[in-house]
């Protein structure tokens, strides 16, 4: 099954972006333009040995092209899927990669490719410059063989840009898509980043870091390190999205978009500065539950920072402890010119606060702070504070104003109120009967639950009401044509005449409904056991009165987003096996409700 990218279809080709609103983010194909200014030499990758048949490995062919044309060159990549194996691709200055629509660099089976920017000398001029990626698609996957990875390891480089690119399900579990180390004038625009299956949860798609051996995604022999900080990094009009199942539930979280977590030698060579994260959209990143130290966006000892005009949205994922976290660890350094303005936060539901300013050392750790015009909306009744700090937010240069957190109504679910009995319209003459049942009990459930007919189902009849109810009748319906078909149930009944289910032969709730005895149906198998553990809730899943498809019929009672705490105790576990042999696990909470095991971080 091919996984889809939530909030819009990504065809895994070179793309541009159009943000259409909260519930729709579309991704439109990038069209090659005849007006593009190519470098002095233009190379067609296919003509020079690369093969886009998704079978032949292209590592060697691409490196041969790069090495052969070591001056100013444009490598034109025609339509095709170019497979890569584990290896490292060394770049040089003055190179442009121009991808046609439908041109894809593909990695699979847990392999990894590092595109690295060598730095044979120290200093800001020690590396390469003027590298452009236009319309590139880097496509990976996450399988039993592991996470497949494409990484850009940028060291002491300058004037590097990514425009209308797609980084799809290929982030390192312990690293980044783009690793910016001691580099400057790096631009990422109009691009899409999807999927993060991190074993180190806080890693970002785009890391802004220092020239230090420990910081590098790829450590190239011969590179020179000097702890210089990166600066002039612009990330504008990009999307950071999850990879989703057809149901809409998150398969792989969206990447944490941008940030960094280290400073080297107390910043003697300089501090990260001039970082612009503007007009981007971030949907359903992995919740980071710690109260301090991590967040969806995290910067440590930074100045001249702009986080403005962005859309932060959670649809199927619960909230982090903090969403934006700025930290000063150096007693002699004052973080300055910090701007978090005009962003919208939609259902991000932080368990601590939206923004946390932290200082472990300095008396006046931050100045010229502008946190203004931000708007948060949430369905959570208990609203988190918008901003907190562990130092006084006072002074002439601290401007915190016009930030709001509003509660909105939760989206309506498909749960319908309990019903009695609805008459079924049939084209036959029905007998008028008196009710003979002295006892009848009806219980409704989700209309999407289903069962199969038993092997001897043909000996059963369908009814307009349960037998013994007033005006019950056997209906003229040939069940043979429904052999092997799934039937959908929305109500069960217990009466003097036995156990009954109300069924449909279509998913549509408007389809005709009939009553049939329980003996005509085969239900999923359920294996229950006690299970005393504590886990963190991470994703938004329905809460049920029973495991879904239980013969008792489950009702929905809200979602995991309605719970007051994300750290919950599990009391029971049920493994459901359907008619195809697929196993689904459900956990029961202390409040008696059930939800999917996929809603939890079972490693916590």
Q: Range with the lowest mean pLDDT among 66-80, 133-147, 305-319, 348-362?
A: 348-362
Per the CB < 8 A criterion, the answer to whether 386 and 355 are in contact is: yes
What's the rounded Cα separation, in Å, for the pair 217 and 597?
Answer: 33
> Which pLDDT score, from 0 to 100, does residue 362 have?
63
CB-side neighbour CA atoms (13 Å) of 1: 9
The whole-number average pLDDT for the span 354-358 is 96
SS3 content of the chain, % helix, strand, coil (to 5): 5, 45, 50
What's the rounded Cα separation, in Å, for the pair 397 and 138?
Answer: 43
pLDDT tens for 531-585 read 999 999 999 999 999 999 999 999 999 999 999 899 999 999 999 999 899 999 9
- Calculate the average pLDDT of the chain: 89
As a residue count, the chain comes to: 604
Determine whether 503 is exposed, middle or buried from the number of CB atoms within 10 Å of its CB (0-12, 13-18, 19+): buried
> Which pLDDT score, from 0 to 100, does residue 518 have?
95
The whole-number average pLDDT for the span 417-439 is 65
| Pick among 3.30.565.10, 2.30.30.170, 3.40.640.10, 3.40.50.620: CATH of 440-522 | 2.30.30.170
Residue 458, pLDDT above cutoff 90: no
- CATH number for the region 1-31+40-286 comes to 2.160.20.10
Per the CB < 8 A criterion, the answer to whether 283 and 6 are in contact is: yes
> Which pLDDT score, from 0 to 100, does residue 410 have?
61
> Which pLDDT score, from 0 to 100, does residue 332 have?
85
**Residue 418 DSSP one-character state:** -
Per the CB < 8 A criterion, the answer to whether 477 and 505 are in contact is: no
Who contacts 557 (Cβ-Cβ below 8 Å, separation ≥6)? 543, 544, 545, 593
The whole-number average pLDDT for the span 416-440 is 65
What's the rounded Cα separation, in Å, for the pair 298 and 257?
Answer: 10
Comma-separated ranges of CATH 2.30.30.170 domains in the chain:
440-522, 525-601
* Residue with more model confidence, 11 or 102: 102
What's the rounded Cα separation, in Å, for the pair 208 and 206?
Answer: 7
> Which pLDDT score, from 0 to 100, does residue 12 have?
35
Per the CB < 8 A criterion, the answer to whether 84 and 106 are in contact is: yes
pLDDT tens for 159-208 read 999 999 999 999 999 999 999 999 999 999 999 999 999 889 999 999 99
> Which pLDDT score, from 0 to 100, does residue 379 have?
87
pLDDT tens for 24-57 read 333 333 333 333 444 579 999 999 999 999 999 9
> Which pLDDT score, from 0 to 100, does residue 13 have?
35
Comma-separated ranges of CATH 2.160.20.10 domains in the chain:
1-31+40-286
> Which pLDDT score, from 0 to 100, does residue 49 have?
97
Who contacts 524 (Cβ-Cβ below 8 Å, separation ≥6)? 451, 549, 576, 577, 578, 579
Fold of 525-601: SH3 type barrels. (2.30.30)
Rg of the chain in Å (alpha carbons): 29
What's the rounded Cα separation, in Å, for the pair 361 and 61?
Answer: 52
What's the rounded Cα separation, in Å, for the pair 493 and 569?
Answer: 33
Residue 361, pLDDT above cutoff 80: no
Per the CB < 8 A criterion, the answer to whether 97 and 73 are in contact is: no
**Residue 544 Cα to chain centre, angstroms:** 24
Pairing mode, strands 385-389 and 353-359: parallel
Who contacts 291 (Cβ-Cβ below 8 Å, separation ≥6)? 321, 322, 352
């Amino acid at each position: 099954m091919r996984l889809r990218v939530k909030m819009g279809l990504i065809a895994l080709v070179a793309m541009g972006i159009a943000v259409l609103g909260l519930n729709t983010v579309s991704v439109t194909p990038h069209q090659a333009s005849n007006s593009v200014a190519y470098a002095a030499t233009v190379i067609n990758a296919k003509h020079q040995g690369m093969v886009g048949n998704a079978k032949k490995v292209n590592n060697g062919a691409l490196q041969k092209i790069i090495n052969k044309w070591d001056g100013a060159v444009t490598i034109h990549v025609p339509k095709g899927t170019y497979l890569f194996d584990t290896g490292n691709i060394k770049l040089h200055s003055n190179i442009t990669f121009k991808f046609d629509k439908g041109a894809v660099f593909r990695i699979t089976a847990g392999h990894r490719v590092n595109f690295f920017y060598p730095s044979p000398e120290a200093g800001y001029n020690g590396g390469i410059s003027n590298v452009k990626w236009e319309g590139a698609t880097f496509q990976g996957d996450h399988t039993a063989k592991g996470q497949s990875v494409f990484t850009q390891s940028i060291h002491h480089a300058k004037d590097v840009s990514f425009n209308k690119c797609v980084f799809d399900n290929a982030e390192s579990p312990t690293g980044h898509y783009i690793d910016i180390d001691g580099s400057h004038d790096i631009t990422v625009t109009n691009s899409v980043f999807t999927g993060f299956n991190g074993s180190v949860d806080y890693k970002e798609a785009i890391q802004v870091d220092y020239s230090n051996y420990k910081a590098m995604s790829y450590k190239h022999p011969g590179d020179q390190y000097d702890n210089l900080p990166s600066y002039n990094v612009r990330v504008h009009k990009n999307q950071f999205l999850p990879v989703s199942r057809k149901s809409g539930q998150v398969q792989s979280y969206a990447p944490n978009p941008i940030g960094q977590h280290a400073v080297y030698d107390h910043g003697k060579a300089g501090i990260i500065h001039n970082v612009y994260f503007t007009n981007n959209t971030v949907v359903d990143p992995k919740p980071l539950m710690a109260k301090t130290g991590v967040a969806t966006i995290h910067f440590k000892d930074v100045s001249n920072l702009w986080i403005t005009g962005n859309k932060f949205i959670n649809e199927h994922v619960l909230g982090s402890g903090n969403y934006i976290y700025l930290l000063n660890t150096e007693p002699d350094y004052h973080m300055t010119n910090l701007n978090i303005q005009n962003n919208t936060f939609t259902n991000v539901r932080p368990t601590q606060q939206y923004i946390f300013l932290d200082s472990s050392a300095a008396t006046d750790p931050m100045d010229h702070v502008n946190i203004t015009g931000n708007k948060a909306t949430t369905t959570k009744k208990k609203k988190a504070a918008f901003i907190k700090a562990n130092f006084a937010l006072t002074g002439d240069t601290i401007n915190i104003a016009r930030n709001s957190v509003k509660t909105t109504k939760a989206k309506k679910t498909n749960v319908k109120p309990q019903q009695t009995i609805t008459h079924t319209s049939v084209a036959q003459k029905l007998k008028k009967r008196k009710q003979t049942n002295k006892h009848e009990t009806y219980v409704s459930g989700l209309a999407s639950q289903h069962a199969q007919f038993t092997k001897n189902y043909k000996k059963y009849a369908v009814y307009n009401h349960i037998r013994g109810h007033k005006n019950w009748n056997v209906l003229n319906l040939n069940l043979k044509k429904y052999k092997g078909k799934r039937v959908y149930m929305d109500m069960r009944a217990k009466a003097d005449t036995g156990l009954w289910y109300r069924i449909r032969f279509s998913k549509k709730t408007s389809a005709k409904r009939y009553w049939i005895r329980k003996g005509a149906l085969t239900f999923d198998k359920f294996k229950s056991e006690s299970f005393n553990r504590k886990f963190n809730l991470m994703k938004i899943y329905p809460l049920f009165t029973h495991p879904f498809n239980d013969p008792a019929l489950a009702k929905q009672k809200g979602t995991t987003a309605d719970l007051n705490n994300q750290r919950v105790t599990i009391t029971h576990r049920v493994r459901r096996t359907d008619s195809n042999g697929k196993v689904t696990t459900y956990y029961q909470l202390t409040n008696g409700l059930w939800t999917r095991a996929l809603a939890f971080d079972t490693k916590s």
